[in-house]
Amino acid sequence: MELFRLTAHELAELLRRREVSSYEITRAVLTRIAEIEPKVQAYISVTGDEALQMAKEADELLAKGEAPSQLTGIPVAIKDNMCTRGTLTTCASKILGNFVPPYDATTVARLREKKAVFVGKTNMDEFAMGSSTENSGIKPTLNPWDLSRIPGGSSGGSAAAIAADMAIVATGSDTGGSIRQPAAFCGVVGLKPTYGLVSRYGLVAFASSLDQIGPITKDVTDAALLLNELAGHDPMDSTSADVECPDYTKFLGRDLRGVRVGLPKEFFGEGLDPEVEGSVRAAIGELEKLGAEITEVSLPHSPYAVATYYLCATAEASSNLARYDGVKYGLRVDADNIIDMFSRTRSAGFGTEVKRRIMLGTYALSAGYYDAYYLKALKVRTLIKRDFDQAFEKCDVIAGPTTPTPAFRLGEKTANPLEMYLSDIFTISVNLAGICGISVPCGVSQSKLPIGLQLIAPAFEEGRLFRVAYAYEQATEWHRQRAQYVTL
């Protein structure tokens, strides 16, 4: 039995029955990483010694029957924009190449408290700015299904690690699709929770009104288990919602009779790959067979989502990244005066895409342009949220494609930023509205590349997503077919 191929809930049952130890599971995952990582490049750092020590501690608790969670003893990969005490946290940027946080992000602290095992920090687009993980300042990550393809971004390292069985579960962050898009491209499950459900304390900020941490996993059950540990109010995060968090696994196994699924006509137009549309429509047909009621809805301001996002997000990035100036931490390039030191540090430390977004955001916030660009974008953002509010009066969840195409080739879109930005066209509006969305595998293209179905629900209705996603997953085999296509 290859332990690294199993899900968290399968391994948790083996651990409960004492048929396997956390140390054995962790060693199997680390061996898999040593074998596969040179090809996929999913990790920035692998914390093997720490992981084995954490596994031993988990085994001691398990032996006493005192496991605090179903993730106790389970190997977890952490996206490298979440602070980990004593472990390098780089955001895949040269400017933070030597940064070791003195504290854990709240999400990391909660997993540590539950005695999960941290096997490493995953690669990403620099400061989470990208859709392919080609913008990493360290190295590009490759898609385990086809090493000539990108894994998506910005959480490409986490998605690739799960798809290649180099972790059992992983964390990602989603600002405009950065969990769901790589999950779709890598044939795994990715959930973007409602804004405020999961603490952002210790998450290195990109766009503070959009960022949200969530799970990337092999199946829907594991996503529910991981969200159980991540969700909850945190007084350290002023945007954290003080809401009651249910046990999300309780929504699994419910039938879909009476569930209303909305299809936005704007999601099925020009630019959608025929194979993606075919797989998504087949998935919607399956939901109907399972008892769901299918109805058409409209999100009329969706065509403006990408433009709105790249004004709101870049404006916030311009402000958030001002702290990287060579003074307090990170890279410092000395000069004769402080202005030159700022300039040289930021020129040397930031990559091309980060510089592009800082300049766009600074321009949008500048005197004379603020009202014309940033303020107008905020107004359109309100209209986008209103579209969803009106759509959810007619349906319980919205269904559509996660991405317009399957994973594209390395280098295919790097010369055209606008084309790259459009790969997130179906995911961005969910972040702008502050609601929740999940991507689950729903097909494979003729080129043997995964295709994702996106389900969207109102704020704090993750239970609806799990109910529908699990029912679909159990009625199909797409989530099981992932491994047989991995050619490594």
What span, in angstroms and rounded, lies between the C-alpha atoms of 464 and 287? 13
Mean pLDDT for 388-404 is 98
469 vs 252: CA distance, rounded Å: 9
Pick 32 or 419 by higher pLDDT. Answer: 32
Q: Mind spelling out the 3-state secondary structure of the chain?
A: CCHHHCCHHHHHHHHHCCCCCHHHHHHHHHHHHHHHHHHHCCEEEECHHHHHHHHHHHHHHHHCCCCCCCCCCCEEEEECCECECCECCCCCCHHHCCCCCCCCCHHHHHHHHCCCEEEEEECCCHHHCCCCCCCCCCCCCCECCECCECCCCCCHHHHHHHHCCCCCEEEEECCCCCCHHHHHHHCCEEEECCCCCECCCCECCCCCCCCCEEEEECCHHHHHHHHHHHECCCCCCCCCCCCCCCCHHHHCCCCCCCCEEEEEHHHCCCCCCHHHHHHHHHHHHHHHHCCCEEEEECCCCHHHHHHHHHHHHHHHHHHHHHHCCCCCCCCCCCCCCHHHHHHHHHHHHCCHHHHHHHHHHHHHHCCCCCHHHHHHHHHHHHHHHHHHHHHCCCCCEEEEECCCCCCCECCCCCCCHHHHHHHHCCCHHHHHHCCEEEEEEEEECCCCCEEEEEEEECCCCHHHHHHHHHHHHHHCCCCCCHHHHCCC
Q: Is the pLDDT of residue 406 over 80?
A: yes
Tell me which residues are annotated as active site: 79, 154, 178
Confidence of residue 269 (pLDDT cuts 50, 70, 90): confident
pLDDT score for 329: 83
pLDDT at position 418 is 83
Take residue 445 and report the two structure tokens written for it. 């293209």
The pLDDT score that the predictor gives to residue 407 is: 97
- Report yes or no on 355 lying in a domain: no
Q: What is the mean pLDDT of residues 119-134?
A: 98
Band of residue 254 on the pLDDT scale cut at 50, 70, 90: very high
Q: Which residues contact 158 (CB under 8 A, 6 or more apart)?
A: 42, 77, 79, 122, 124, 167, 170, 171, 172, 182, 216
Residue 191 counted as domain residue: yes
β-sheet bridge partners, residue 456: 398, 437
Condensed to tens digits (0 to 9), the pLDDT of residues 47-97 reads 999 999 999 999 999 999 998 999 999 999 999 999 999 999 999 999 999
Q: Is the pLDDT of residue 305 over 80?
A: yes
- Neighbouring CB atoms inside 10 A of 26's CB total 28
Look at 228-242, 277-291, 319-333, 464-478 and tell me which has the smallest mean pLDDT.
319-333
Tell me what pLDDT residue 488 has.
57
> What would the two tokens of residue 477 be?
């085999």
Q: Which of 217, 246, 250 is CA-nearest to residue 231?
A: 246
Question: In the sheet that 260-264 helps form, which strands lie side by side, from edge to edge?
Answer: 43-46, 117-122, 75-79, 169-173, 213-217, 189-192, 436-444, 450-457, 397-401, 260-264, 293-297
pLDDT of 484 strictly over 70: no
What is the structure's pLDDT at 478? 92
Average pLDDT, integer, range 297-315: 97
Within a domain: 360: no
Report pLDDT for 486. 55
Q: How confident is the model at residue 482 (pLDDT cuts 50, 70, 90)?
A: low
pLDDT digits (tens, 9 = 90+) for 186-232: 999 999 999 999 999 999 999 999 999 999 999 999 999 999 999 99
147, pLDDT greater than 90: yes
Domain-embedded: residue 350: no
Q: Which sign does the torsion angle of CA 434, 436, 441, 445 carry?
A: negative
Within-domain flag for 321:
no
pLDDT (tens digit, 9 = 90+) per residue, 413-448?
988 888 898 889 999 999 999 999 999 999 999 999
Q: What is the mean pLDDT of residues 344-366?
A: 95
Angstrom CA distances, 239 to 80, 153, 243, 456, stand at: 22, 24, 12, 21
- Per-residue pLDDT at 347 exceeds 70: yes
What's the mean per-residue pLDDT of the chain?
96
Short-list 119, 306, 273, CA closest to 185: 273
Range of the domain at 61: 3-253+461-485
- For the chain, the domain total comes to 1
380-396: average pLDDT: 98
Nearest Cα neighbor of 358 from 418, 307, 306, 316 is 316
Judged against a pLDDT cut of 70, whether residue 485 lies above it is answered with: no
Is 362 part of a structural domain of the chain? no
Considering the domain boundaries, does residue 274 fall inside one?
A: no
Whichever domain contains 479, its CATH number is 3.90.1300.10
Task: Give the model's pLDDT for residue 487.
Answer: 53
336 dihedral zone (left: phi>0; alpha: psi -120 to 50; beta): alpha
Whether residue 466 is contained in a domain is answered as yes
Q: How large is the average pLDDT for residues 453-466? A: 98
